Amino acid sequence: MSRSVVRRSAISAAIALLGSAIGAASMAQEAFQPVGSDVSLDQPFVQRGNDTQPTTVMVMLSGDSVVKMEKRFGRRLERSERESVASARRAEQDTVRPHIERLGGKVLARLQHALNGIKVQIPRNRINSLRHLPGVVDVKAVGNYNRLNTNEVQLIGAPQAWQSTLGAFQGQGVKIAILDTGIDYTHANFGGPGTVAAYNAAAATSTAPPSPLLVGPSAPKVKGGIDLVGDAYTGSNTPVPDANPLDCSVTAGFSGHGSHVAGTATGLGVLTSGATYSGPYTASAYSTNSFRIGPGVAPKADLYVARVFGCSGSTNVVAEAIDWAVAQGVDVISMSLGADFGNVGNGDGGSLAEAQAVADATAAGIVVVAASGNSGSTPYITSAPGVYEGAISVAATDALPGVPTASLALAGGASVNVLNANGGAYASGTTFPVRVLRNADGTVSLGCDPNEYDPAVTGVSLAGKVVVTQRGSCARVFRAGAAQHFGAAAAAMINNAAGLPPYEGPIPGGATSPTSGNIYEPVTIPFFGIALADGATISGPTGGPAAATAQATNTGISPNAGFEKIASFSSQGPRIGDSAMRPSVTAPGVSVVSTASGTGNGFQILSGTSMATPAVAGVAVLAKQAHPGWSQPDLRAAIVQTASPSMMKDLAQRAEGGGLVQAQAAVATQAVVRMPDESISFGFQDLLSDFSGTKTVTVHNAATKAVQFNIAAVKTTGPAAATVSAPGYVIVNANSDATFPVRLDVPAASVGGGTGFQDVGGYLQLTPSNSRLNANVKLSVPFYMVAHSRSNMAVSASGGTLTYGNAGGAISSQPVPFVLGQYQPTPLGVQQLDVRAVGVRSSGTNLIFGLNTHNRMSTTLANQEVDICIDTSGGPGFTPNKILIGLNGSRFSSSLAKSTYATAVFPTDANCNINGSGTILFTVTQPTDNSTLQLPVTLAALGLSSASPRIKYVVNYYGTDGSGAQMPGVGSYNAFTPAVTFGASPVVAPNGTGTSSFAVNAEIANTPALGVMLLLRDNVPGAAQAALLPLQ
């Protein structure tokens, strides 16, 4: 703590109470708002502090896995050698298993190839005991992942790679593994019989080994497969593995996700006749044939499939699937799955098992490609496993230059241009009465509850009407199905991001839930997509009235405003922790046509980074074929650095990475830039003074001739005052490396502070000086930095005065005072939430808990959890009866977005375990790249009054991977007569000073305090963001 002290004798009745003195200023800084009446606590929620809750972890053993042995020997092991290593690891695991079971652990799986580990389900409070077992070197959390829902292949230049002057790169001899929902190996796109009857016959014996004519070395496409989970697996029940990787059918209401992505990566193609396309795969394939489903990016690759999802739900068997893929000797792994905010797990201490599996797989030379996620533009929300070291993370763009549109002429004279998202038929000129579904507070409803449509429930007929809802929470197409099912003539959805929502194509029925799709019959009515900016035009103000009618006129195919721009759903980066650039690269992922499982030879249209990922995985196959001797990092660089930044019309590195992937360039280049993560990372920077950083860039030329690259620097994001500079050219000799410096300069005051997110990005364009050099392929090397301008506030206390100075600060800052109740001087290694100090203050009818952490948190939304156990009884000792919880709001309510932080209060037993229903209280704007949190709670929610004003509290906190700790001691506070009160806090300008007053009163005897905590959240993160002044 600071050497300055707060004197208990500094008591002054003239000092106003905290709530009335700084309430207005603090509300502005905290930006917390009460939740609306429509926000209910409808998500199944279990507090992290329930120690007996079963959790899943990977127990890591000391012996080297197969891939680590391969790394040691510098080569791929022969099959017999691999089995010998695996056998030795199994023997070691046999000796540990009884010890695990004696601790109450249940062994779920054993891995020897990518990892040497035993997957265990065990009560959380026994995890530390696992770490002390003989042979155990670590215990890692196991993540829980979700699936992430013909122009594509052409837009990325794959047909040109198929018939390159350097060779016919179509995937021959390269093995790719798809880890997903399985594969419809009977489909024509994979060389199967191509009939529904064939699929039904396979489904009737779906737990028995599949026909070797369809899955196996002699099969036309699928050379190997396994089902690690079974149809009924949801991610929360026990997997039932079998040898058959058959996907679930779209005709039964399931997505057929794995079959769709496999078709994009390596499908053979299906002609309009329904027959399998057998080639030739040339640059003219599309102009000389008519396709129902175009060929995949690498149509001649060998496909291996590990089924990790059941017919619905999520998965936690990704590490096992990577282990299986490594055992098959694959060259590329594609994972159209993810967990938001990168390193999010459901276990206890340590990094995730999947991170280790990816690291070991990449070390063995396998190119790992994974989806960036479908959660939009929130900073740091990009998904694992794509964020893991060595993986390529893929964002999504729209490859459709034109989409079907309509004009809605509204009663009153206004009109809006809309998307006909499913191409639904209607008579041009039809007038639809408008029915807007609304929440209790009058805002437009998400329309995710079937009862909102049902006339028997609402008393309102939908016959002939267009039903208007807001995008969010449930599947987009559910709204169209529900509207049609209950009698509407059309449906309309207002987008929740700028522009129009995605084109859907034909909307099938039969999904299992509103979150997975349309649960009703296939949709034939039009499903109009409305731009966010036009939403209020049709829906009217909050509470209405809406436009009475909408006359729809078909306007044909219109230019797609989203063409070659980032998809609104595509998750953005950067990576949590080091702020490195993620995603890595972009591919088409909107309205992608590919395989429809269970249809014989049919297609379906899906959108998501899931659809973009296999396109990049296919490019990885082609690059591996073209450069068989290249290292895995060089292959990654070839894919990322030959992407086209200029083809992305709204390029930003944290959204689109290096740009739109280009297959032909990736196979043709003979040069790459060797940099970690394939980009030039300046990391995260706190700016008290002007930043000037230099990185050394290494260019590797694998060609037999020297090459000169001319260098141009392009800045795409960041303040105008930021500049990047590099030499005009670099010459790289044959089979050699050359280096050059790149410098980034950013003025300290230019990027701003506060709660906002600021970054600087762009790319270096390396252009061959002659078209004959490097096959005329340009290299585009992204550079990226996250920065915050910072204050340099310091505080001292004397008498009843707090004195502030901001010497050398780049921006102004305003301190926020708290009564300090708990202090942990030593960091405990809790990831992204290592709490240092906790205090409380009053603000009107609310209490605000303030937290300061030892280290910078990239974001507070990454499923960290703060549990504040509160005793409101006023009695002796500490017996909690309430708990205030702060975490990502989507874990409380389906009405809250993943970009929302929220607080909720629950009743508890004496051990602080929730024992009743709770209430969501506030949404809170927490800053990014900071070391402070503020958690509000109402006095009413705690049952406090002037007659019963006192609380005691203990804070428990849990990091991004589930590990946690408890603050030492017990804090106390009087909500009506605080022991320490404060005057208004000043705003202190750079190099300025300011003062405020404080007082300690007689209540200190009843609610002891450790001192005063002043949150200085514009300072450099860490201890500098909270001045702790102990009481003397």
Classify residue 352 by its DSSP letter.
B
Q: Does residue 653 sit in helix, strand or coil?
A: helix
Q: Which residues of 32-54 are buried (b: 16+ CB within 10 A; e: fewer)?
A: beebeeebebeeeeebbbeeeee
Contacts of 1005 (CB under 8 A, 6+ apart): none
**Residue 441 is among the residues annotated as catalytic for this protein:** no
Nearest CA to 956 out of 880, 1021, 902 is that of 880
Assess whether 610 carries a catalytic annotation.
Answer: yes
Can you tell me the distance from the alpha carbon of 922 to that of 845, in angstroms, rounded to the nearest whole number? Answer: 13
Sign of the CA dihedral running 530, 536, 537, 541: positive
DSSP secondary structure code for residue 487 in this structure? T
Asked if the peptide bond before residue 583 counts as cis, ω within 30 degrees of 0, the response is yes
d(CA 525, CA 532): 22
Taking a C-beta distance cutoff of 8 angstroms, is the pair 256, 312 a contact?
Answer: no
What is the secondary structure of 417-455 as a DSSP string? EEEETT-----TTEEEEEEE-B-TTSSBP----GGGT-H
Q: Is 719 left (phi over 0), alpha (psi -120 to 50) or beta?
A: beta
Active site residue 180: yes
Structure-token pair, residue 547: 């436009």
- Separation CA 627–CA 625 (nearest Å): 6
Question: Shortest CA distance to 671 belongs to which of 603, 751, 730?
Answer: 730
Type of residue found at 643? A
- Strand segments, DSSP code E, in 142-286 are 146-147, 175-180, 222-227, 270-271
CA distance 122 to 317: 16
Angle of helix 66-73 versus helix 353-363 axis, rounded to 10:
30
Helix (H, G, I), strand (E, B) or coil at 257: helix
Catalytic residue among 113, 187, 257, 260: 257
- End-to-end CA, the chain: 12
Which helix (H) or strand (E) segment holds residue 736: the answer is strand 736-746
Of the candidates 412, 514, 427, the one whose C-alpha atom is nearest the C-alpha of residue 472 is 514
Six token digits for residue 1031: 């009481």
> At CA 293, angle to CA 289 and CA 297, rounded to 5?
90
C-alpha dihedral over 369, 375, 379, 383, to 10 degrees?
Answer: -30
Q: Where do runs of H (alpha helix) occur along 682-805? A: none
Measured between alpha carbons, how far is 49 from 962 in angstroms, rounded to an integer?
Answer: 10
In whole angstroms, what is the distance from residue 465 CA to residue 463 CA? Answer: 6
C-alpha of 663 from chain center: 26
CA–centroid distance for 31 within its chain: 24
* Catalytic-role residue among 377, 610, 894, 895: 610
Q: Which two tokens stand for residue 539?
A: 């829906």
Measured CA to CA, the distance from residue 145 to residue 309 in angstroms comes to 9
Show the tokens assigned to 389: 């070291």
Query: What's at 124, amino acid-wise?
Result: R
CB 215 within 8 Å of CB 185: yes
Both tokens of 36, joined, read 């609306």
Q: Is 78 helix (H, G, I), strand (E, B) or coil?
A: coil
Beta-ladder partners of 473: none
CB-based contact 446:452 (threshold 8 Å):
no
Q: Which of 129, 164, 180, 539 is catalytic?
A: 180
DSSP β-ladder status, 430-436 and 466-470: parallel
Active site (catalytic) residues: 180, 257, 610
